[in-house]
Amino acid sequence: ETGVTQTPRHLVMGMTNKKSLKCEQHLGHNAMYWYKQSAKKPLELMFVYSLEERVENNSVPSRFSPECPNSSHLFLHLHTLQPEDSALYLCASSHRHNDSPLHFGNGTRLTVT
């Protein structure tokens, strides 16, 4: 149990589908993150929500849309994805304003067909 729960664990979707990834943290942290993990590449930061304010990586395509309704829940809405978007999507949380590590969930393995 990591304290960060992601659902679903696996998702297969077509390029015209709309789906959402969900993340919930039980650690009392004040920041939540979406990362993309592709084979043989470093973790790529997509979005950060700190105290419910969004900070984003400007290179993330608009077909990815985050939502953070409160400090414990984070969503990633997916729309019109491409096959190259297939990857492991990791949610993490942390105490934003301290030297503290990110705590990750087990990820959603996304396959776009």
Partner 1 sequence: GESVGLHLPTLSVQEGDNSIINCAYSNSASDYFIWYKQESGKGPQFIIDIRSNMDKRQGQRVTVLLNKTVKHLSLQIAATQPGDSAVYFCADSTGNQFYFGTGTSLTVIP
Task: Provide the binding-site residues for partner 1, judged by CB under 8 A.
Answer: 2, 4, 6, 31, 40-43, 45, 48, 50, 90, 92, 96-97, 99, 101-107
Nearer of residues 20 and 50 to partner 1, judged by Cβ: 50
Is 85 or 107 the residue whose CB approaches partner 1 more closely? Answer: 107
Judged by beta carbon, residue 80 or residue 110, the one nearer partner 1 is 110
Per DSSP, the residues of 43-96 read -EEEEEEETTEEEE-TTS-TTEEEEEEETTEEEEEEES--GGG-EEEEEEEE-T
Q: Which is nearer to partner 1, 13 or 45 (CB)?
A: 45
In the complex, least distance from residue 6 CB atom to partner 1, rounded to whole angstroms: 8
Closest contact distance (angstroms) between CB of 110 and partner 1 is 14
Hey, how many other C-beta atoms are within 10 angstroms of the C-beta on 48?
A: 20
CB of 10 to partner 1, least distance (A): 10
To the nearest 10°, report the CA torsion of 15, 79, 60, 75: -130
Residue 89's H or E segment, with its range, is strand 87-94
